[in-house]
Structure 1
Amino acid sequence: MEPEEGADRTPLLKESPPGTSTGTGTVPACCSARYNLALLAFFGFFLLYALRVNLSVALVDMVEPNTSLAKNTTSNVCPEHSSTINVPRNTSGKKYSWDADTQGWILGSFFYGYIITQIPANLGVGYLIAVRALEGLGEGVTFPAMHSMWSSWAPPLERSKLLSISYAGAQLGTVVSLPLSGLICYYMNWIYVFYIFGALGVLWFFFWMWFVSDTPETHWSISHAEKEYILSSVKDQLSTQKSVPWRRILGSLPLWAIVVAQFSYNWTFYTLLTLLPTYMKEILRFDAQENGFLSALPYFGCWLCIILSGQIADHLREKQNLSTVCVRKSFTLIGMIGPAVFLVAAGFTGCNYELAVAFVTISTTLGGFCTSGYSINHLDIAPSYAGILLGITNSFGTIPGMVGPVIAKNLTHNNTVGEWQTVFYIAASINLFGAIFFALFGSGEVQDWAVSGYHLHRN
């Protein structure tokens, strides 16, 4: 049986006696080991998403335009929106005659490798799909691993701040990668999109290996005061049991509330992440350079929202004494219902370029509230098993990335406004269902099965 909703099992760190090593006033955030970890994680997720989404822009430039389709659908698609920049573009990149279904499989292939872990394209489409799957295989462990690290590093009343900083890197990676990929395709060659971001990822790896450790105890430069502050704040929420209580984990309704919320949110997120450049080109008729910048705009808004909502969430919990479950559910409702409403509205803007971009931007921006909602709820209900729980929820949350692009591409063979409205309707409906489910069954308390003793547990 799950515990009744009540007072959070969260140490009120602000009540520590003044002058003690666990008092928040004696362990500033500036230059601290925990915030340095958040910053390095920020750049790590920045590169992860840059590597993930660059193909979305490059693919637009890799595929030969279907002139016969354009002739048949000109009455249903917006007139061409010409760029005001008259710089000649580079056209040396090789073109491939991939149809809409093939493009859907290529865009979704990343997630086939990604879900298992929770060669150049000119060798054939199969090789490209295989390489993207391997890329997803490597990235699949990152979010569960980061959650496991934060279970040891993040004081309960700083979770929203620290995790929002680290995971916001994913949004900024999208913001930078989309327009930069567009510029690279426009002025250079789409092949350099993969070379440049790949090299940056290798460079980041060396910094991560040098400056980061799994726990505060093993960090080479952490201060004694900060180490004691972190350890004393998390010790009552961690377990000593050696075996993982799989039966109780899989029977936990609060966990399944996160699963449903993450699946639902990711359906919208991954659909836009992989297909927004195509929508910008085929429906709104922006060229490659404008496409990259405008496709990035929604994720810039989301990045700002993630950073701000993390600060607000912890402020509400610590200063306003709102319960964790109240904050998590409220932020999830805003972050899922808001995007659903504006996504549907975007489908009815017709060829109003400004309004379409504005609605998609607002939709994606509001989704940033979910990072301080269901997204870090694993650490609230089971800090010791946060990595395992995220592995479970992320496995289900990856399914939309696998099937969403394929379904969307199958629904938009003619690239008409009506077809894209259907895609937006489906995404919004799934989002709405996930928000309601989490509001009904989510929890903010450490679950009984997640606590056994009061000593540090290693994931």
Structure 2
Amino acid sequence: MDTRTKLSPTEGESIHSQDMQLDEKLISRKVQGLCSVRYGLAFSVHMCNFILMAQNVIMNITMVAMVNSTDHQAQVNVSTDGLPANSLDGPSQAPKSLPAEAPVYDWNPQTQGIIFGSVNYGILLTLPASGYLAGKVGTKKVVAIALFGSSLFILCTPLAADLGLVYLIVIRIAQGVCQGAGFGGQFALWGKWSPPHERSRLFSIALSGLALGSCIVTLLSGFISLILGWPFAFYIFGAVGCICFLLWIGLVFDDPSSHPWISISEKEYIISSLSQEVSSSKQPLPIKAMLCSLPLWSIHFCCFGHQWLVVVLLIHTPTYINSVFNVNIRDNGILSALPFLFAWVCSILGGVLADFLLTKNFRIVTVRKIVTLVGNLPCSAFIVALPYLGSSYVTTVALLILACALSTFAQSGIYINVLDIAPRHSSFLMGTSRGFAHTAAILSPTVNGFLLNQDPEFAWRKVFFLLFAINTLCLIFYLIFGKGDVQDWAKENKRTRL
């Protein structure tokens, strides 16, 4: 059966009327296209994610200029929510031609690991609840405060480093609190702005800013540190963040009804396509039903497995290249940015592919599982194969780039699936799924670091096979229990009690 019939506004409508509505939606989409307000909103969120991710990983690039020396152990202890840029660094000393005014600190690898990880504890504090908060007070306010706060704390980072380690860690945790609100709070927009058959595309455009932020930071931060001094990397990206904050305030609105410049036709198109998915502010969260929902748990577990994949892919495998091939990837900024560049492009292509399959009468659950499968299984298989490639450096780097690019397809699968099964509670559930997945960004470096310290000879195989096992088990669980239709507990006429 065509999945589009499941998205019809009311019960009792005929299949013929649903098809006519779908034809009207497709015509409207073709007429307005990328010039529409909803795509402008997607690009605004794209820029927000760009600056948030750039501010998240900038410390990972500048650390090599901030300390007397770095080594691999500092890399192992790093944990990030997105695409960490320092993972592409190899063993090296701090640059010899640093500007005289740039201070250098005597932080050992363990201290560096605490500094890197502190931002993630802040993110974990606010990421699960930020979606629910955005659903109550509005995404515009939550993300605006998060964007301004993150930019302000980035600007204060050089001063905090001068004041002492404790001040720096506090600033990093506070920055993480703001970033968690920004990363989790933005999802509430798509329950009000994204027509079902454009949802994957809009969502992927917005999230692709994460990969672009890592790409640009990787390319520019090292040069800024060498030419102007590492503090200017924080000042520049902090200032850009403040500019993005002002643009966000002026351009982003919580729903089509409150947008002052949207055309009447586009407003009616969006509202009519989401008429069955508008949440009721008075409807309580069906917590008990959520906890008993296997489709919901399958999304959470698969998000966790995918995040474990991302962490290993972008933190440990570059260190693996350095240890096997003795190549300092950081010294070549273009090569370091290639995985992020391909991930940025493929992130958008994944959303286009998902929406294309929906127009070809694929069921929603089938589309979500296809792109999720592509974004998980090939990537983990490529990584498991790395220790068996021997001295083939070109093949190793090619597989890493391919794995990084394909991993972004999951953004149009598991990360958006809660909008399909529980649109009325999507803002809250997207925050919880991202928060649950973020625990992998903290657990993975710890577990893998233990394995690397215990068994140097076969440690990498153990790390990669552990990744494959976790990722595959979580993927299988999702493929079995994942759903694409609105669950009974998420319907308005369903009696819900805590």
TM-score, normalization by structure 2: 0.79
- Per-residue CA deviation, residues 92-127 of structure 1 (Å, 9 max, x unaligned), is 544444444333332222110001111522444333
Q: Is 2:343 the partner of 1:302? A: yes
* Cα distance in 2 for residues equivalent to 1:193 and 1:417: 38
Q: 2:383 maps to what in 1? A: 343
Deviates more, 1:306-315 or 1:230-239: 230-239
1:324 is matched with 364
What does residue 315 of structure 1 align with? Answer: 356
What is the rounded CA distance, in whole Å, between the counterparts of 1:272 and 1:186 in structure 2? 28
Superposed CA deviations along residues 263-301 of structure 1, whole A, max 9, x for unmatched, are 111112134445566556565544475354333221221
Bigger relative contact order (CA 8 A; separation at least 6): 1
Number of residue pairs aligned between Structure 1 and Structure 2: 435
Cα distance in structure 2, aligned partners of 1:304 and 1:137: 29
What is the aligned partner in structure 2 of residue 90 from structure 1?
98
Instruction: State the Cα distance separating 1:447 from its structure 2 match.
Output: 1.1
Inter-CA distance 341–22: structure 2 relative to 1 (3 Å threshold): closer
SS in 1 for 2:69: coil
Residue 16 of structure 1 pairs with residue 13 of structure 2:
no
Q: Partners in 2 of 1:50 and 1:415 — Cα distance? A: 34
Return 157-166 or 180-189, whichever deviates more: 180-189
State which drifts further: 285-294 or 238-247. Answer: 285-294
User: Residue 121 of structure 2: which of 112, 115, 119 is its match?
Assistant: 112
Larger mean CA deviation between 336-345 and 207-216 belongs to 336-345
Among candidates 181, 200, 216, match of residue 141 of structure 1? 181
Among 368, 380, 390, the residue aligned to 2:430: 390
1:98/1:279 CA distance change after superposition, 3 Å: farther
1:209 aligned to 238, 249, 254, which one? 249
Question: 2: distance between equivalents of 1:67 and 1:129?
Answer: 20
Contact 1:302 1:366 in 2 (8 A): yes
Q: 1:101 aligns with which of 100, 107, 110?
A: 110
Matches within 5 A, 1:55-454: 55-65=59-69, 89-90=97-98, 92=100, 93-118=102-127, 119=157, 120-240=160-280, 241-274=282-315, 284-287=325-328, 289-290=330-331, 292-318=333-359, 320-350=360-390, 352-412=392-452, 418-452=458-492
Counting aligned pairs with the same residue, the percent is 35
The alignment status of 1:43 with 2:47, answered yes or no, reads yes
Residue 55 of structure 1: CA displacement? Answer: 1.8
Q: Are residues 97 and 121 of structure 1, via their aligned partners in 2, closer, same or farther at CA, if it must alter by over 3 Å?
A: same
Conserved 8 A contact 1:294-1:357: no
CA drift at 1:54: 1.6
Using the alignment, how far apart are the partners of 2:37 and 2:72 within structure 1? 58
Residue pair 1:283, 1:417 contacting (<8 A) in 2 also: no
Letter in 2 for 1:208: W
Q: For the residues of structure 2 that align with 1:406 and 1:57, how far apart are their CA atoms?
A: 21
Task: Tell me what 2:81 maps to.
Answer: none
Cα offset for 1:413?
A: 5.0
Secondary structure class of the residue paired with 2:68: coil
One-letter code aligned to 2:118: S
In 2, the alpha carbon distance for the partners of 1:386 and 1:68 equals 40
1:26 CA displacement? 7.4
Whether the 8 Å contact between 2:3 and 2:361 is mirrored in structure 1 is no
Counterpart code for 2:399 = F
Give the deviation of 1:40 after TM superposition: 0.5
Contact 1:144-1:386 within 8 A present in 2 as well: no
* Secondary structure of residue in 2 paired with 1:64: coil
Q: Are the counterparts in 2 of residues 49 and 174 from structure 1 also a CA contact under 8 Å?
A: yes
Give, in whole Å, the separation in 1 of the partners of 2:365 and 2:220.
39
Listed one character per residue, the Cα deviations across residues 180-213 of structure 1 (whole Å, up to 9, x for unaligned) are 1222234332222222211111110000100111
Residue identity in the other structure for 1:309: G
Relative to structure 1, the CA distance from residue 414 to residue 20 in structure 2 (aligned partners, 3 Å threshold; closer, same or farther) is: closer
Two-structure CA RMSD over aligned residues (Å): 3.2
Secondary structure of 2:241's match? Answer: helix
Cα distance in 2 between the residues matched to 1:153 and 1:25: 13
Q: Which amino acid in structure 2 is aligned with residue 41 of structure 1?
A: V
Distance in structure 2 (CA, Å) of the matches to 1:371 and 1:14: 28
Residues 310 and 271 of structure 1: is their aligned pair in 2 closer, same or farther, counting only changes over 3 Å? same
Shift of 1:178: 1.5
CA separation of 1:19 and 1:289: change in aligned 2, threshold 3 A:
closer
Distance 2:333 2:320 in 1: 12
CA contact (8 A) 2:72 2:91 kept: no
What is the identity, as a one-letter code, of the residue corresponding to 1:9?
Answer: K
- Shift in Å, 1:248: 1.3
**Post-superposition shift, 1:389?**
0.2
Shift in CA distance, 348/394, structure 1 to aligned 2, threshold 3 Å: same
Gaps of 5+ in 2: 9-14, 74-89, 128-156
In structure 1, how many angstroms separate the alpha carbons of the residues matched to 2:357 and 2:415?
17
Distance in 2, matches of 1:94 and 1:445, equals 56
CA distance in 2, matches of 1:19, 1:423: 50
Q: Is 1:38–1:165's contact at 8 Å kept on the other side of the alignment? A: yes
Q: Structure 1 residues 204, 324: closer, same or farther in 2, change over 3 A? A: same
Q: Is the 8 A contact 2:340 2:404 kept in 1?
A: yes
What are the ranges of 5 or more consecutive residues in structure 1 without an aligned counterpart?
A: 70-79, 455-459
Q: Distance in 2 between matches of 1:280 and 1:313?
A: 33
Q: Secondary structure at the match of 1:57?
A: helix
User: Pick from 48, 58, 71: which aligns with 1:54?
Assistant: 58
Give the letter for the 2:214 counterpart: T
Q: What SS is found at the alignment partner of 1:116?
A: helix
Q: Distance in 1 between matches of 2:26 and 2:167?
A: 54
CA distance in 2 between counterparts of 1:244 and 1:68 reads: 45
CA distance in 1, matches of 2:352, 2:37: 19
Please list the CA deviations of residues 118-151 of structure 1 after superposition, one character each: whole Å capped at 9, or x if unmatched. Answer: 1522444333332222111101122332221110
Give distance in 1, aligned partners of 2:387 and 2:300: 28
Superposed displacement of residue 53, structure 1: 1.4
